[in-house]
A and B are shown apart, each in its own frame.
Chain A
Amino acid sequence: MSWQADKKMDIVIGHMLRTGVTIAAVVVLTGWMLMVTRVTGPAPGYHHFHGVPAPVLKIAPVLDGVRQLQSASIIQLGILLLVLTPIFRVVFCVFGFAAQRDPLYVTVSAVVLTILVYSLVRG
């Protein structure tokens, strides 16, 4: 029955999401610890909006920063991993419904995936 297939899919997705969040949280925590221990002087406070000097979405500069152990880049990498977890969930739905031979829901999942990818790439 499709209900059981759905539930099985749900459980796999649930574990996948939790693993993704755990990895992302560990990466963010690492970057944050580095940031807190390195910065001296008053905190930025974030009272006024400046935007981020280097756009987070450009993956190359983030990875460069991670290689140089820059704390902000490590946090940004963790955040990117986190944003990818729900997107993976939708990718998994596309394949799950394909395995159940449900063209309607393959299409619905693909539409959601397209919106997510459009948002991330187009920014």
Chain B
Amino acid sequence: MGMMAFTGWILVTSVVAGLLGALTGLGGGVVIVPVLVLIFHVDMHYAIGASLISVIATSSGAAAAYVRDGYSNVRIGIFLEVATTLGALLGAYLTAKIATPAIGITFGLVLLYSAWSSFNRPPEELNVEHDSLASKLKLFGDYPVGNKRQEYTARRVPLGFGLMFSAGTLSGLLGIGSGAVKVLAMDRAMSLPFKVSTTTSNFMIGVTAAASAGLYLARGYVTPGLAAPVMLGVLIGSLIGSRTLVKINNRSLRLVFVLVIAVLGVEMIYSGATGRF
């Protein structure tokens, strides 16, 4: 394949990955890495390097649209970023230490979990009760419901913080946003309202990825010829995806997307286990 054709295909694939990532709410990273590795036979480290860059672009690019509604919570975001950035440092460090097949298998498991969790949204369990640690750390807020403002307070702060550390580690290890683990931490553990956790986590993804970027850049995981079309493609795809998100809320279409992600997960585990990376 010539340079023009190869890079063109990577761009088109990245647009589709960004679109799929936005429509499933899982992010472009979890889709583009397996596609690059399994279909284009790109080295795992180059794939996660390119993906990490696209994750930063998507998070920062969507930020302006998310804050307008007033759901995101700056304090909760920056507080949990202490956990995610520390985790990301650990994850980025581990990427060089762990054998590539093991990274592939871990990636596959995260894909399967992501696919499963996007169908099992935790029930909304709004917390307004007093939580002394959350009060001390000012981890509360309110968001618009009709004309009124609904108040909420975070719960189980240490558990949420610990889970966010794991989310950061996975992000640094796999070059993804690890949205599924963030949902687990913020929705399930800390009982934050769904819209608050989704918009806040979008902000956090970019900062978390930036913490791994230093190590990725220094080790040469980010190769310009590959990172450029992946970053531009995923960015375009996710911007289109977030705009059409409201229109496509069809459950069966969603099922198809999630099945694609599950198949990619199985394939990553199989390829890792049979040493094909």
A residues touching B (Cβ–Cβ < 8 Å)?
3, 6-7, 9-11, 13-15, 17-18, 20-21, 24-25, 28-29, 31-32, 35-36, 39-52, 55-57, 71-72, 75-76, 78-79, 82-83, 85-87, 89-90, 93, 96, 102, 104-105, 108-109, 111-112, 115-116, 118-123
The 6 closest A-B pairs by CB, nearest first: A123-B218, A51-B220, A43-B6, A52-B220, A119-B214, A75-B224
User: Are the CB atoms of B210 and A11 closer together than 8 Å?
Assistant: no
Are A112 and B78 in touch, CB under 8 angstroms? yes
Contact in complex: A116, B138 (CB < 8 Å)? no
| Contact (Cβ within 8 A) B218 A93 | no
Mark B1-41 against chain A: 1 for CB-CB distance below 8 A, else 0. Answer: 11111110000000000000000000000000000000011
* Interchain CB contact under 8 A, B228 and A31: yes
B9 to chain A, nearest CB (A): 9
Does residue B128 face the partner (Cβ distance < 8 Å to A)? no
**Given A14-B64, A47-B42, A123-B215, A116 contacting B207 (CB threshold 8 A):** yes
A14-B65, A83-B56 known; 19 new pairs, CB 8 Å cut-off, are A3-B141, A6-B74, A17-B60, A35-B225, A42-B2, A43-B7, A46-B42, A52-B220, A57-B218, A71-B224, A79-B231, A86-B56, A87-B210, A96-B74, A109-B78, A112-B78, A115-B85, A118-B214, A120-B213
Q: Could you say which residues of chain B place their CB within 8 Å of the CB of A44?
A: 3, 225
Is B53's beta carbon under 8 Å from chain A? yes
What does the 1/0 interface line of B45-74 toward A look like (CB < 8 Å)?
A: 110000001001101110111111010111
Contact flags B82-121 to A (C-beta < 8 A → 1, else 0): 1001101100100000000000000000000000000000
Q: From residue A56, how far is it (CB to closest CB) to chain B in Å? A: 4
Chain A residues whose CB sits within 8 angstroms of the CB of B89 once the complex forms: 115, 118-119
B225 adjacent to A3 (CB under 8 Å): no
Q: Which residues of B contact A10 (CB under 8 A)?
A: 67, 70, 72, 74
Interface footprint category on B:
35 or more
Q: Knowing A35-B224, A43-B1, A75-B224 touch, does A121 contact B74 (C-beta < 8 A)?
A: no
A12–B214 Cα distance when bound, in Å, is: 26
- List the A side residues contacting B86 at CB < 8 Å: 115
Contacts of A13 in B (CB 8 A): 63, 67
A111: nearest residue on chain B (CB-CB)?
A: B82
A28 to chain B, nearest CB (A): 5
- Residues on B with beta carbons closer than 8 Å to the beta carbon of A7: 67, 70
Assess the A79–B214 pair: CB atoms within 8 A: no
Indicate if B75 sits at the interface (CB-CB under 8 A).
yes
**CA A40 to CA B45, docked complex, whole Å:** 25
Given A29-B232, A119-B215, the answer on whether A75 and B63 have CB atoms closer than 8 Å is: no
- Contact residue among B60, B74, B142, B220 (Cβ-Cβ distance under 8 Å from A82): B60
CA distance A120 to B210 in the complex (A): 8
Which residue from B41, B217, B229 sits with its C-beta under 8 Å from A57?
A: B217
CB atoms of A90 and B207 under 8 A apart: yes
Neighbouring B residues of A123 by C-beta, 8 Å: 214-215, 217-219
